[in-house]
Structure 1
Amino acid sequence: MDLPFQLTKEKREEFIHLLQDYFFNERGESIGNLEAGFILDFIIKELSPTFYNIGIRDAHTFLNDKLEDLFELEKH
């Protein structure tokens, strides 16, 4: 599966454990590393691009607002 980005080994393991904890605490289900890894890959491939794009739009809006503030520094 071709993922849009790669996590460090440490971050991937952390997220796998978070998914395992979620399934256990919220659903009473124990899932293994392999299953949690598949879920994580699905989230990265299918869901993360949307959140990434939201971040890009938010950054664009923020930077545009700050650039507009520069015009307030003009000398008249």
Structure 2
Amino acid sequence: MAQAGADAAGTRRGRGLGLAHRRAGGGLRPAAVAVMRARRLSYGFTQRADTGMAEIKFTDAEKASIVAKLQGYFNDELNQQIGRFDAEFLIDFISEEIGGYYYNRGLYDAQTLVAAKLEAVGDELLQLERRTDFSR
């Protein structure tokens, strides 16, 4: 007898429900999509046409805080003074040239987290199945 959540061959059931749901005409409601887009814009995310990666724009207060931290680091650790303009230029360079590595790592971490959560939900849904004469 197969275990709950697995078929006779021992493979997991329940994966791909999201794709099947979308193929059947389901998906996110337009209101949910609008809310997600509004949140992305409120956090300063815009889509870059060249890479598809979200471009991050900092508020003036956030940028001032980052500049102060960078200036403090240069002063304390490197015994160098760096002006505001140079610090902002360095922040822009790091964001454009190195930020993609951090962005991708965040995506991978988020993907792992979401996959684990979806697997847990799938397992919980399978536990709700009732025994019937019909087998899948």
TM surpasses 0.5? yes
Q: Distance in 1 between matches of 2:68 and 2:105?
A: 26
The answer for the alignment partner of 1:55 in structure 2 is 106
Task: Report the TM-score when normalising by structure 1.
Answer: 0.88
Q: Distance in 2 between matches of 1:39 and 1:70?
A: 44
Q: Distance in 2 between matches of 1:66 and 1:5?
A: 27
Which of structure 1's runs of 4+ aligned residues deviate more than 6 A? Answer: none
Is 1:35 equivalent to 2:65 in the alignment?
no
Is 1:14 equivalent to 2:58 in the alignment?
no
Q: Which has the larger radius of gyration?
A: 2
What does the per-residue CA deviation read over 1:16-60, in whole Å, with 9 as the maximum and x for residues that have no partner?
111100000001111110111111111111111111111111111
Structure 2: stretches of 5+ with no match in the other structure = 1-54, 131-136
What does the per-residue CA deviation read over 1:50-76, in whole Å, with 9 as the maximum and x for residues that have no partner?
111111111111111111112322125
Structure 1: stretches of 5+ with no match in the other structure = none
Would you tell me which structure has more helix in proportion to its own residues?
A: 1
Report the 3-state secondary structure (helix = DSSP H, G, I; strand = E; otherwise coil) of the residue aligned with 1:58: helix
Task: Report the TM-score when normalising by structure 2.
Answer: 0.51
Pairwise CA RMSD: 1.1
Would you tell me which structure has more strand in proportion to its own residues?
A: 2
Q: Distance in 2 between matches of 1:56 and 1:8?
A: 23
